[in-house]
A and B are shown apart, each in its own frame.
Chain A
Amino acid sequence: MRYLPLTDSDRQAMLATIGAASIDDLFVDVPAEARLSGTIPDLPDHASEMAVERHMAALARKNLSAGEAPFFLGAGAYKHHVPASVDHLIQRGEFLTAYTPYQPEIAQGTLQVLFEFQTQVARLLGCDVANASMYDGSTACWEAIVMARRITRRGKALLSSGLHPHYVSVAQTMAKFTGDHLAYETPELDSKTDSQKLIAAIDKDTSCVVVQYPDILGRIEDLTALADAAHATGALLVAVVTEPVALGAIKAPGAMGADIVVGEGQSIGVGLQFGGPYLGLFACKQKYVRQMPGRLCGETVDAAGKRGFVLTLSTREQHIRREKATSNICTNSGLCALAFSIHMTLLGEKGLRALAGLNHAMAVQAAGRLAALPGVTLMNDSFFNEFTLVLPKDARDVVRRLADRGVLGGVSLGRLFPTAPQIGNGLVVAVTETVTAEDIDIFAKALEEELA
C-alpha cells in the first residue's frame, strides 16, 4: 500500500518494544463481538493510482462542465476566471497540509494571510472588522441572525423576499429548533423589492432585517432607508452578498448602514465545485466584535519584539467556552480564504474594478439581446451581472431542454422556489467575464427556438 511506510519487520520490532504479541492485542479493549475478523465484505481491495484515476475520470466525464458550454448560471455560485497562480500557490504543501494555526511561531504564513484576508474582506464589504471565514454564505447568514438576537435580545428576524431561498431554508431549519421567529414571503416578479413592506413591518420585537444585495433576482437598491428604519427601533440591518465581485462596482453595504455584512466568497478565487467547499464571509461594526462567531486573527508581538499574528478573542469560542460559546463552529474555510486573498491581491482595486466593469458590461449586452426575443421581458430596472427574464412559459422545462442542447442557460425560479408556481416563468441569468459574445448569441438563438 503506497501510503503506508511500515514494513512487516518494522511492525514486529515495534510490537516487541510495546510488549504485545500481535496487533490484535492492541485492540483488546474492543469487545470481541464488535471486532471484525477480516475485511468488511462487498468492498473492493486497494487499487493502483492509475486505476483510481481512471475510475474518477470516468465519473468526471459524465458531467457537463461549465467550461464546455455557453454558461449562464448564478444564483449564489458564479463562474469567474481564476488566475493560474492562485491554484499553484494554494497547492504549496506548507499551506495545503498545515493545520489550524494553534502554534503561531510556526504558522505565521497562515496567520498573516488570515490577517490580510480579514482586512480585504472588511474593506470590500465596507465594515470595520471581518473574521477568518465561515463554512459558506448560507451558514454565515444564519450565524448573523443569531448574533443579532444576542446583541438585541430580540427573537424576530425579518427576511427579505430577495434573500436566496436556500439561505432562507437553512435559517428556517435552525429556527424550528431554536425558537427564533422568522418572517418571510416568496418574491414577486417585480422590478421593485419588498423594502417598503419590510420597513413597515419593523417593530420593537425585531432583532434584524436580512436583505440580500444584489438580491436573488439580481435587483440592487440603496439600503440606507432600510438601515435607518431598522436602527430607529434598535434593530440591526444584516446584508447578504452572494456575488462579492459586485462590490467592485456598487456601493458597499457597510457604507449604507448595514451592521453585519455576510456573504459567499466563492466568486473570488474558489471555483464552482458543485457547491462546496465555499467560503463564508462575515464582517461587522467594531462595537460588535466580541459577539462575532468564528476565528479571528490579530496582530501582536513576539518575545523579541517582532510583529507577529495569533488567533485571538478565543474566549468567544467552543474550545474555551463550550456550551456558552457564540457558535459551535470550529473549522473555517482556511484554504478557500487563502485562494480568495491571493486572487484579490492579484486583482487589487484596479483589477477588481475592471473585472466588475467587464461583468456589468457583458450582462447589459446579454440582457439587451435576450429581452429582445419574442415573448421575453427583462424584469429588472437595475442589476449588476445577473438579472431575471420573464418567459412566456415555465422556465424549468426550458432550462432542461437548453441543457439537452448543450447550453447551460440560467437557473429557473421553479428550481429555486418549487412551491411558488406563480413565478415559475422567471429565469435568473448570470453573465460574467467568462461569457463571450458568441456564447450570448448561441444562448439567444437556442432560447428563441425553445420558446417558438
Chain B
Amino acid sequence: MTMLKEGRPTAPTPVEEAHMAPATATGNRALMLEEKLIFEIGSTDTTGVDFAVAPTGENRLGDLARADAIGLPGLSEQETVRHYTRLSRQNYAIDLGLFPLGSCTMKHNPRLNEKVARMPGFADIHPLQPQSTVQGALGVINELAVWLIKLTGMHGVAMTPKAGAHGELCGLLCIRAALEARGDARQVVLVPESAHGTNPATAAFCGYKVEDIPATPDGRVDLEALKARLGPDVAAVMITNPNTCGLFERDMKVISDAVHAAGAFVYCDGANFNAIVGRVRPGDLGVDAMHINLHKTFSTPHGGGGPGSGPVVLSEALAPFGPLPYTARMEDGSIHLIEEENVGEEMPQSFGRMSAFHGQMGMFTRALAYILSHGADGLRQVAEDAVLNANYVLRSLDDVLDAPFGGSGPCMHEALFSDKGLAEGFTTLDIAKGLIDEGFHPMTMYFPLVVHGAMLVEPTETESKAALDQFILALRSLAERAKAGDEALKGAPYHAPRRRLDETLAARKPVLSWSEPDLAAAAE
C-alpha cells in the first residue's frame, strides 16, 4: 500500500467484492442523504422567520380565536435549506439530463425567463390594481397574444386558462356557447382512441356525451368512420395533431371540412405543437380552437407537476365567445380589460369567467421571453430540430425495438415503440426502470393506449447529438437485455434513491397525511 510516513494512505486499495457497499449506520450513502419528514425533525416551537413585535391594540376577532394546537412544525432557516436541498437531490430533472417523456416536451428551461418573471414590475403586482398602474403587464399579455395568434394563424386567443386541460374546457365552452347562440343543442363530442385522457374527461366535465373514433392500422384517425358518425347531434371533434403516436394527421384539412359541413367544430389538442411551431399553422388546417401548453412548447418550467398555462387560440367563429377578462388594445396604444363591467358593450357573447384573475401571468412573462429569444426563425428551427432528433432516435433503435408505425414514414417530434419482441415475462416497465439505472428519466410508458406496452420517446430540440447517442446506447442495451431475458432487469432500478415502490399497497390502505406514531398505531 502506498502511504505517507504518518500512515495516511494516498492510493486506494483495489476494491474486492467483499468490500462493496456495506450498510451505513445512518442509512445515508455519502452524497445521497436520507431525509425524514418535517413532522419528525421539526417542532412547533421552532421558527425560521422573525417578525416585528405587533403593536398592542384591541382584538377584533370576535370569539373566533384559534385555541387548538394546529400541529405545524417549524425549522430554522438552515434546517429548512438542508431539508429541501436534500429532498431535491432525490429528483430527476431536465437540468440533470435527457427527459424523454413523450407528449410532455421536457425541453431546457432558460434561466433568463426565471429572471424576467421575478422583476418586481411583474412578480409584485396585484390582479385588481387600477389598470393605469399595470399597463406593462397588460402589454405582456397582449404581446404574447399577438405572437400566439400569428404562429397559429388563428383569429383570437383566450389567455386565462390555467393549464392544458383548462384550455380544453375553455375551447369546449366556446363551442357550446357558439352552438347555443344559434339554438343548436348538440350533445356529442367525438374523441379518437389515442387521445389524452383529459379530452374525454373535459368533454364530460362540461356536460357532453363522449364517443370514440377508431384509429386506422397506420395510427391515424379513421376518416371514413369519422365521416360516417358525423351528424346533427355532434357538437365537436377533438383531435390531437400531431397525434399521440407521433404522427401528423395527414387528413386534417379534409376532417375539418367534413366536420364543418356537418355543422360541428374542430377542437385541436395542441399538446404536440412543438413539432410544427413556425412550420405549420393550425388555422390553415381548419381548426376552430386549440390550447397551447406554454409549459411544453414555450418552455415554462414544469415544476414537478405544474403550474401549467393553456391559452386557447380561436377561429373567427369562436373568438366572440371567449372568457373574461380579455385584453383589448385601444387606438391610443393603451390596453384595457374587458371584464363584467363592460362586457355587455364590448364582448356580449363571452361565456364568462373561468378563473378568478388574468390567467398564469408568471408563465406569460417566461413564455414571451422564450419566444422573443427564438424569434420567428428560431421557433421554426425548434420544430425542425425536435422532429430531427425524434427521427434519429427512431431510426437508431428500430432494429432492436418494435416501431409499430415506423414503416409508414417519418415520425414527428416523438418516436413510438412497443413491447413486441421482448422475452416472455419482460415488459415496458422493466425497460423504463432500467433506464433509471442508466441515468435517464424513462419515456412515457403504456400511452398511447392504442399500442401494446407503448414507449413514447420525445427527446426535444434542446438535446445534443452526443446526449442522444448516449441515450440510444442505453436503450439499445436495455432492449437487448429484455429480449435475451436478463432476469436482473426485473429488479431495476438498483441505483435510485428507492427501489420499485408498492403502488397497490398505497391505494389499498391510503395514508395521505402524516400522523404522530402513537395516533397512527391507535388507528390500526
- Determine, out of B223-231, B260-268, B298-306, the stretch whose residues face the partner at the interface: B298-306
Given contact pairs A92-B85, A275-B356, a sample of 9 additional A-B residue pairs in the complex whose CB atoms are under 8 Å apart: A85-B77, A94-B92, A97-B94, A100-B306, A106-B92, A330-B197, A331-B307, A334-B306, A367-B60
Does A4 lie within 8 Å of B91, measured CB to CB? no
- Determine, out of B13-21, B474-482, B511-519, the stretch whose residues face the partner at the interface: B511-519
Does B134 lie within 8 Å of A63, measured CB to CB? yes
Residues from 397 to 419 in B contacting A, C-beta threshold 8 Å:
409-410, 412
In the assembled complex, the Cα of A385 lies from the Cα of B206 at a distance in Å of 37
| Residues from chain B with Cβ under 8 Å of A110 in the complex | 91, 304-305
Does A249 lie within 8 Å of B66, measured CB to CB? yes
In the assembled complex, the Cα of A255 lies from the Cα of B474 at a distance in Å of 54
Given A94-B95, A345-B38, verify A299-B66 contact (CB < 8 Å): no
Min CB–CB distance B342 → chain A (angstroms): 8
| Residues from chain B with Cβ under 8 Å of A34 in the complex | 252-253, 280-281, 284-285
Interface check B71, CB cutoff 8 A: yes
In the assembled complex, the Cα of A316 lies from the Cα of B126 at a distance in Å of 35
Does A328 lie within 8 Å of B358, measured CB to CB? no
Does B70 lie within 8 Å of A352, measured CB to CB? yes
Does A347 lie within 8 Å of B72, measured CB to CB? yes
| Residues from chain B with Cβ under 8 Å of A75 in the complex | 128
Residues from 312 to 370 in A contacting B, C-beta threshold 8 Å:
312-315, 317-325, 327-336, 338, 342, 344-352, 354-355, 357-358, 360-365, 367-368
| Least CB separation from B74: chain A residue | A348
Does B73 lie within 8 Å of A345, measured CB to CB? yes
Q: Which of A4, A76, A248, A358 contacts B385 (CB 8 A)?
A: A4
Does A59 lie within 8 Å of B353, measured CB to CB? no
Q: Which of A13, A138, A330 contacts B165 (CB 8 A)?
A: A330
Given A99-B99, A300-B501, verify A118-B513 contact (CB < 8 Å): yes
Interface check A145, CB cutoff 8 A: no
| Residues from chain B with Cβ under 8 Å of A42 in the complex | 150
Q: Which of A20, A59, A349 contacts B410 (CB 8 A)?
A: A20
Interface check B204, CB cutoff 8 A: yes
13 contacting pairs across A/B (C-beta < 8 A) = A29-B412, A43-B150, A73-B128, A92-B88, A96-B114, A105-B497, A105-B500, A176-B352, A178-B206, A276-B360, A302-B498, A303-B502, A408-B133
- For chain A, the bracket of interface size reads 35 or more
Does A63 lie within 8 Å of B87, measured CB to CB? no
Residues from 56 to 77 in B contacting A, C-beta threshold 8 Å:
56-75, 77
Given A45-B377, A400-B130, verify A112-B201 contact (CB < 8 Å): no
In the assembled complex, the Cα of A56 lies from the Cα of B201 at a distance in Å of 37
Given A310-B503, A323-B204, A348-B74, verify A40-B151 contact (CB < 8 Å): yes
| Least CB separation from A1: chain B residue | B378
| Residues from chain B with Cβ under 8 Å of A372 in the complex | none
Does A94 lie within 8 Å of B96, measured CB to CB? yes
Residues from 184 to 228 in B contacting A, C-beta threshold 8 Å:
196-198, 200-207, 210
Residues from 289 to 311 in B contacting A, C-beta threshold 8 Å:
295, 301-309
Given A173-B351, A345-B83, verify A276-B357 contact (CB < 8 Å): yes
- Determine, out of A147-155, A163-171, A225-233, the stretch whose residues face the partner at the interface: A163-171
In the assembled complex, the Cα of A107 lies from the Cα of B135 at a distance in Å of 40
In the assembled complex, the Cα of A98 lies from the Cα of B356 at a distance in Å of 27
- Determine, out of B3-11, B166-174, B312-320, B420-428, the stretch whose residues face the partner at the interface: B166-174
| Least CB separation from A402: chain B residue | B130
In the assembled complex, the Cα of A234 lies from the Cα of B71 at a distance in Å of 31
Interface check A201, CB cutoff 8 A: no
Interface check A247, CB cutoff 8 A: yes
Q: Which of B69, B80, B132 contacts A85 (CB 8 A)?
A: B80
Does A99 lie within 8 Å of B304, measured CB to CB? yes
| Least CB separation from A409: chain B residue | B130
Does A64 lie within 8 Å of B125, measured CB to CB? yes
In the assembled complex, the Cα of A178 lies from the Cα of B135 at a distance in Å of 36
- List of 7 A-B pairs having minimum Cβ-Cβ separation, nearest first: A348-B74, A275-B357, A60-B121, A335-B303, A93-B95, A62-B136, A275-B127
Interface check A116, CB cutoff 8 A: yes
Does A64 lie within 8 Å of B72, measured CB to CB? no
In the assembled complex, the Cα of A138 lies from the Cα of B324 at a distance in Å of 14
Given A177-B176, A362-B54, verify A65-B304 contact (CB < 8 Å): no
In the assembled complex, the Cα of A365 lies from the Cα of B409 at a distance in Å of 72
Given A76-B356, A136-B356, verify A56-B368 contact (CB < 8 Å): yes
